A and B are shown apart, each in its own frame.
Chain A
Amino acid sequence: MDALWKDVRFALRMLRRTPGVAAAAVIALALGIGANTAIFSVVDGVLLRPLPYHDSHALYVVKGRFPQQQLLHIPISVPELRDLQESGIFSTVGGFTYGDTNLVGGIGAPERVCGAAASASLLPTLGVQPALGRGFTDEEERVGHNKVALLADGLWRQRFGADPAIVGKTLVLDGETFQIVGVLPRGFALDGPGATACDLWTPLAMNDPSFSRGGHFLEVIGRLKPGTTRAQLDGELAALGARLTEQYAKNYKRAGTWALEEKPLLDHVVGDARGALWMLLAAVAFVLLIACANVANLMLARAAGRGREMAVRTALGAARARLIRQMLTESLLLAAIGGTLGTLLALWGVDAMVALAPEALPRASEIALDGRVLAFTIGLSLVTGVGFGLAPALAASRPDLTAALKDGSRGASATRGRLRRALVVAEMALSLLLLVGTGLMARSFVTVRNVDPGFRPDHILTISASLPSVTRDATEQARWVSYFRRATERLATLPGVRAVGAANILPLSNDSADYTFEIESWVPRTQGDMPDNEAREIAGDYFKTLGIPLVRGRLIGPADDENAPPVVVINQAMARRWWGDEDPIGKRLRIGSRKKEVPWSTVVGIVGDVREVGLDQPAKAEMYFTNAQWRNSSSMSLVLRTDGEPLQLAGAARAALAEIDPAQPIFNVRTMDDLVARSLAQREFALVLMLIFAGVALLLATVGIYGVMSYTVAQRTQEIGIRVALGASPAGVLRMVVLDGMRLVAVGLAIGLCGAFAVMRLLSSMLYGVSATDLPTFAAIAAVLAGTALVATIIPARRATRVDPMLALRAD
């Protein structure tokens, strides 16, 4: 212990003696370790940490599918949830659905809040106990008995002042009184792609007769029985799906076989983020490797200057292991200082990432630099210290005793020189890999950004309104239609507004609604081929406002009201899918074929395709109904095409809507450009981080090659002096040194290119419009690296041309 402490003190002294070298090493290590710590904290919070539920590994999300229709990941209906509960496949299974609601109660004016309706079994399935009060009972899952509510912790604090006596008090939701039965624990949220943290929960009325077997809207989570494997679960779900298909043939027959699929809840929550996060972790690992190579080179150079010291220590009795331990102590000390600074950098970096994190980054609230991450950092610092310190330590612990002691020479060795050059080659190769990956991501992003979405997102203001939806009877439906008609008419009169429309689901809003429907006189191509695609409910001048072009026929207009014959407009993808080359204009279809009273709607027009799901996803088949005739949606988003900046009209728009109904809350006031940006947010987020890491890697690699070439020139000073004395020109010396350096670069780039061809295929799923082996990208990156390395080599090469041969020859 005493000897170790002496080594530490000596190491500190050595660092103080060469502050420049120490600073360079610490900075490189801080960048490498800091970046790894920051990204690991994200990976840990999102991917590795169990979900905050009891034994979360046993939780699975259940979805449905119609394989023949290629309709996958469909929500579950209420009857199907009951089937799952009765099947005994899971130890418990619960379902829920989101639904905004108008809240009156507590502190503040009425507001629109995020609500969710859940079965009584949901909280027990998750293993969550309310922090105050209780969960829902089975009795409360019945119509007329479900006027109770659980508050989220945030709402309880903000709206009800964290009242400890809240249980038993009441609030009003959409005009109806609910009794508060409990408060959920802090941080409780059901994450997932598109999920939002809900403010309050009410019971799902499972016996509501309006919840049909075909009404697929529930998210379902089941807890696996102890001892059941995933394979067994799949088998049981398959058997249940087959049984239901046969038992309820009239519900499923037309759509084909009804099947059930499962996914671990963590995978469902993480969604598409997994691939991007692992890629980022790989990128920062590369940065750390490059930093280690840089620092190893620095250590080798220092070791070369300490040959005499090592020889003396050996002569005084030091065993080789002892010398290695001493050198490694210095490396570990550097790594510890670098790791500490890196942790501080990571603290800042994690805060910045969480603040800038796109909404699509799941579990962002669980990302933190905690004990687990610190343990990772400590371990990484140790491994790093050994990683970059071992080779120099091994090289330094075998001093040439006779040479070093006899003439006091510094003991530079050929082995160390080869090792330094090998490290530079490695840095070049790793940098190329990282830069190529970044280049491909950048090209991909630019390609996606330039994709034509099928509409014009510029100068569009969007405002959402969700009207009360309690009875869903004709009176309520008429109220919805009336509100949105008056809203579109009133907003169209505002100065600076060119056109106004509305839709129940906007493009790129991370929402969807597909319906099975019947086409008149249509013959299915294969058994089970039942028409099913996306449907939208629109109002006002929706197509004109969004700039969706009319391809053929006409658009829905004011004359297409509740008294006019039902009409529908379809997009080109739907026309192609169901009619092929046949003209669909004049054809008829209807949604909800079981209900004979639903009238046929005539196809009156075909519009251009819109990329609803994402700019990197093809357009889906879609049909558009006017809300005056369909009357299915109480929530719609208004869209206003403006002359100037859309948000400048937000205040006037709010005021105009308040004139129509002052008690009707509005929300999601934002621009269409914002929606587009959000759809790209995850991709952009990953790209920005990759660019930062690639920049750091490039800097480190450039510094690395500069350092090695500077050292080589210093080592070859006498040789250069002799060459000049024998007649070498400055240009010749320059060429000699530059060629020497660029040879290293060329080998590194060649290795990197080979590696890139092999490795970049792993990125394929994240690229759009660019191949993983895109030659122009590879060539451009190689050229950038070579150019940068050339500059780093020329500077010491020019120094070499200024060597005074007489001074060089006299020097020892």
Chain B
Amino acid sequence: MIRLRKLTRTFPGSGRVLDAVDLEVQAGDFVTVMGPSGAGKSTLLAVLAMLDHDWSGEYFFFNEPVHKMNGKERTALGRKHVGIVFQRFHLLEDLTVAENLEVPLSYRDMPGAQRKAKVADALDRFGIVGKKDLYPAQLSGGQQQLVAIARAVIAEPSLLLADEPTGNLHTEQGAEIMKLFAQLNRAGTTIVQVTHSEQIASHSRRIIRMRDGRVMSEGLTERL
């Protein structure tokens, strides 16, 4: 599904944040990217999400050469296939839960009736029907992340990217989120997550360790 060849990203004043990264992710995979602060994990995620365009090297997504596309084409491809979960949830504070879920659908030329149906389905699937008219400030951290995940997958992306998805949650909430991720992965969604926690990483199948912008090692997860 994803193939990176010598992918390099440089920030002025910071040097190479990603340094000739080679990486492959298969469809249906559940991958964790780990490493210390400044390793380039979040930048890697931004590149995979096609939100960051100032990189060099090769990036193939479903065999499509992303490195040869212009910004508009990349954004369109990302919109079609990628969902993102953030550490700080990043729900839109002035929208209700249902409205937050609808936002990505509204950017995908979907008729209103169809959007409403998908939102209803997502609310039911994630067990948050009773919260649909609440605002993010009225939810707990775990509930907010739940909504964020629902928002990320409502458009049925092929790839779910999660940047420290349990970073702002306590252990029990984190465990619930990982259970959800496992369900999504079993249902066919490819997941790439970034985390510091070995515990969280253990829920995935592969771990890629990075340091100073480079991939240091890859391997299957040892279940803890």
**Is B39 part of the contact surface with A, judged by Cβ < 8 Å?**
no
Which among A14, A311, A322 is the interface contact of B107 at CB below 8 angstroms?
A322
**Is A308 part of the contact surface with B, judged by Cβ < 8 Å?**
yes
Q: Of A76-84, A236-244, A312-320, which stretch is located at the interface?
A: A312-320
Query: Which of chain B's residues have a CB closer than 8 A to the CB of A318?
Result: 107
How many angstroms between the C-alpha atoms of A314 and B49 in the bound complex?
11
**Is A565 part of the contact surface with B, judged by Cβ < 8 Å?**
no
Interface size on B, residues (CB 8 A): 26
**Is B75 part of the contact surface with A, judged by Cβ < 8 Å?**
yes
**Is A10 part of the contact surface with B, judged by Cβ < 8 Å?**
yes
| Residue pair B46, A308 in contact (C-beta under 8 Å) | no
How many angstroms between the C-alpha atoms of A406 and B194 in the bound complex?
13
| Residue pair B107, A17 in contact (C-beta under 8 Å) | no
| Residue pair A14, B43 in contact (C-beta under 8 Å) | no
Query: Which of chain A's residues have a CB closer than 8 A to the CB of B127?
Result: none
CB distance from B104 to the nearest CB of A (A): 4
**Is B51 part of the contact surface with A, judged by Cβ < 8 Å?**
yes
**Is A715 part of the contact surface with B, judged by Cβ < 8 Å?**
no
Name A406's closest neighbour in chain B (CB-CB): B42
Which among B42, B49, B106 is the interface contact of A315 at CB below 8 angstroms?
B49
| Residue pair B94, A402 in contact (C-beta under 8 Å) | no
Known contacts A314-B51, A319-B75; A10 and B103 CB within 8 A of each other: no
How many angstroms between the C-alpha atoms of A275 and B46 in the bound complex?
61
Which among B51, B79, B103, B112 is the interface contact of A2 at CB below 8 angstroms?
B112
Query: Which of chain B's residues have a CB closer than 8 A to the CB of A319?
Result: 75, 107
Q: Of B28-36, B85-93, B184-192, B211-219, which stretch is located at the interface?
A: B85-93
CB distance from A313 to the nearest CB of B (A): 7
| Residue pair A316, B107 in contact (C-beta under 8 Å) | yes
Name B103's closest neighbour in chain A (CB-CB): A316
How many angstroms between the C-alpha atoms of A287 and B183 in the bound complex?
61
CB distance from B76 to the nearest CB of A (A): 8
**Is B84 part of the contact surface with A, judged by Cβ < 8 Å?**
yes
Q: How many residue-residue contacts, CB under 8 A, span A and B?
A: 55
Q: Which of A537-587 contact B (CB under 8 A)?
A: none
Which among B42, B92, B103 is the interface contact of A402 at CB below 8 angstroms?
B42
Which among A17, A315, A322 is the interface contact of B51 at CB below 8 angstroms?
A315
How many angstroms between the C-alpha atoms of A318 and B155 in the bound complex?
13
**Is A6 part of the contact surface with B, judged by Cβ < 8 Å?**
yes
Known contacts A402-B42, A402-B46, A402-B52; A317 and B107 CB within 8 A of each other: yes
Query: Which of chain B's residues have a CB closer than 8 A to the CB of A309?
Result: 92-93
Query: Which of chain B's residues have a CB closer than 8 A to the CB of A317?
Result: 75, 78-79, 104, 107-108, 155
| Residue pair B94, A313 in contact (C-beta under 8 Å) | no
| Residue pair A405, B86 in contact (C-beta under 8 Å) | yes
How many angstroms between the C-alpha atoms of A50 and B170 in the bound complex?
76
Q: Which of A8-44 contact B (CB under 8 A)?
A: 10, 13-14, 17
CB distance from A737 to the nearest CB of B (A): 29
Known contacts A6-B106, A401-B46; A312 and B112 CB within 8 A of each other: no
**Could you list 23 A-B pairs, sorted by A, with CB under 8 Å?**
A3-B106, A10-B94, A10-B95, A13-B94, A308-B90, A312-B92, A313-B107, A315-B49, A315-B86, A316-B103, A316-B107, A316-B151, A317-B75, A317-B78, A317-B107, A317-B155, A318-B107, A319-B107, A402-B43, A402-B46, A405-B88, A405-B90, A405-B163
Report A's interface with B, CB cutoff 8 A: 2-3, 6, 10, 13-14, 17, 308-309, 311-319, 322, 401-402, 405-406, 408
Q: A315-B84, A317-B108, A402-B43 are in contact. List 9 more A-B contacts (CB 8 A).
A: A10-B94, A312-B86, A312-B92, A313-B92, A316-B84, A316-B151, A317-B155, A322-B107, A401-B46
**Nearest 5 pairs between A and B by C-beta?**
A317-B79, A317-B107, A2-B112, A316-B104, A312-B90
